[in-house]
């Protein structure tokens, strides 16, 4: 049985074919820029050398397949993902999952909120995620199946209404509030989904993604399930590792206006928290690949990648991993 399993999350920053206009204020990439971005992204994936990677900001799954074809380690990996809806009023990127471990079910894009979660009345798209999470069942080892969810929650970018102008500070504040409410609602919807998985399947869960907020924010703590029973809670892999090595410097995944912070997280369920009785493994390290953020490489992502190394206990397969 493979003793160490590596999970990573990777916001690719507008991975799209040349000529595609992702946003009105962003020029499409040229063929030369496209080639440089694909080569850099493939190199970074090989550096991660993870068994399971969650990707964000994928405007074209075919482009991600081209990236994987340029890697040394992931040409035969399973690639799961859905292209953005071409009929949608706004083009939004999607997420993807790449696994070198067996995937036991068809992936599921979860576009709609659970029935008991909704945005306030009058909100645009009140019953759905801005970017649908992706759920897959992955066989970690013989006898251990886990639920992996890839997410990309609403950004902090102000959510202006069509008649608003960014020059008005009051309208700017209200637009930021709308973004926060949407991100909070998406976090709540994700928390309900994770709770339902814990109750229905009773097996380990791992969330990989860009949460667009730090680990101790209200929205991220909603996803973690603070106050919920241990069987339903999630734990920040970086914090679990810090408890073992509290002298280690804190990593970061973005730099914005000279401020370093981490908004890309890997969350694990109780089965990977070594202080809990049902643990089948533990987080032994969390690594941040972020040198490119200071180098200012034009082909690079504007996010660092986060890698969590998890060591499975020798008896883990005998302990089981929920239904499979």
**287-306 confidence digits (pLDDT tens):** 999 999 988 899 999 999 99
The whole-number pLDDT of residue 258 equals 59
Statement: residue 247 has pLDDT above 70: no
Does residue 5 contact residue 206 with C-beta atoms inside 8 Å?
Answer: no
Pairing relationship of beta strands 234-236 and 134-141 according to DSSP bridges: unpaired
Does residue 94 contact residue 111 with C-beta atoms inside 8 Å?
Answer: no
Q: Which residues make beta-bridge pairs with 203?
A: none
Q: Which residues make beta-bridge pairs with 226?
A: none
Q: 205 pLDDT band (50/70/90 cuts)?
A: very high
261 or 39, higher pLDDT: 39
**116-132 confidence digits (pLDDT tens):** 999 999 898 999 999 99
C-alpha span between 216 and 232 (Å, rounded): 18
Statement: residue 323 has pLDDT above 50: no
What 3-state class would DSSP assign to 204?
Answer: coil
The whole-number pLDDT of residue 19 equals 83
Q: Which residues contact 5 (CB under 8 A, 6 or more apart)?
A: 51, 52, 101, 140, 141, 281, 309, 310, 312
C-alpha span between 183 and 213 (Å, rounded): 9
C-alpha span between 81 and 104 (Å, rounded): 15
Average pLDDT over residues 65-90: 91
Statement: residue 231 has pLDDT above 50: yes
Q: Which residues contact 197 (CB under 8 A, 6 or more apart)?
A: 147, 205
Q: 6 pLDDT band (50/70/90 cuts)?
A: very high
Q: 257 pLDDT band (50/70/90 cuts)?
A: low
Q: 161 pLDDT band (50/70/90 cuts)?
A: confident
DSSP conformational letter for 3:
-
Q: 260 pLDDT band (50/70/90 cuts)?
A: confident
The whole-number pLDDT of residue 199 equals 96
Q: Would you state the structure tokens that stand for residue 128, as one six-digit string?
A: 């759905």
């Amino acid at each position: 049985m493979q003793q160490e399993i590596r999970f990573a999350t990777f916001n690719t920053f507008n991975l799209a074919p040349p000529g595609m206009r992702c946003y009105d204020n962003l020029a499409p990439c040229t063929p030369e820029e496209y080639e440089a971005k694909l080569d850099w992204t493939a190199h970074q994936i090989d550096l991660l050398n993870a068994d399971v990677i969650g990707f964000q900001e994928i405007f074209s799954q075919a482009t991600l397949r081209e990236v994987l074809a340029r890697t040394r380690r992931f040409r035969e990996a399973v690639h799961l993902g859905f292209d953005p809806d071409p009929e949608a009023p706004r083009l939004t990127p999607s997420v993807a999952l790449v696994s070198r471990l067996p995937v036991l079910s068809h992936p599921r894009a979860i576009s709609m909120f659970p029935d008991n979660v909704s945005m306030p009345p009058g909100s645009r798209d009140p019953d759905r995620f801005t970017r649908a999470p992706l759920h897959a069942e992955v066989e970690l080892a013989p006898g251990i199946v886990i639920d992996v969810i890839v997410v990309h929650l609403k950004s902090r970018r102000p959510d202006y209404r069509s008649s608003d102008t960014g020059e008005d500070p009051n309208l700017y504040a209200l637009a930021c509030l709308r973004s926060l409410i949407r991100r909070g609602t998406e976090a709540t919807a994700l928390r309900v989904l994770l709770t339902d998985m814990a109750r229905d399947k009773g097996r380990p869960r791992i969330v990989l993604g860009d949460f667009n907020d730090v680990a101790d924010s209200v929205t991220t703590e909603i996803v973690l399930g603070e106050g919920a029973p241990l069987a339903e809670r999630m734990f920040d892999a970086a914090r679990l590792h810090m408890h073992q090595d509290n002298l280690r410097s804190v990593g970061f995944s973005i730099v914005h206006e000279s401020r370093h912070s981490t908004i890309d997280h890997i969350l694990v369920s109780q089965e990977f928290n070594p202080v809990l009785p049902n643990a089948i493994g533990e987080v032994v390290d969390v690594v941040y690949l972020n040198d490119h953020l200071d180098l200012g490489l034009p082909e690079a992502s504007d996010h660092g990648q986060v890698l969590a190394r998890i060591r499975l206990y020798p008896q883990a397969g005998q302990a089981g991993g929920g239904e499979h």
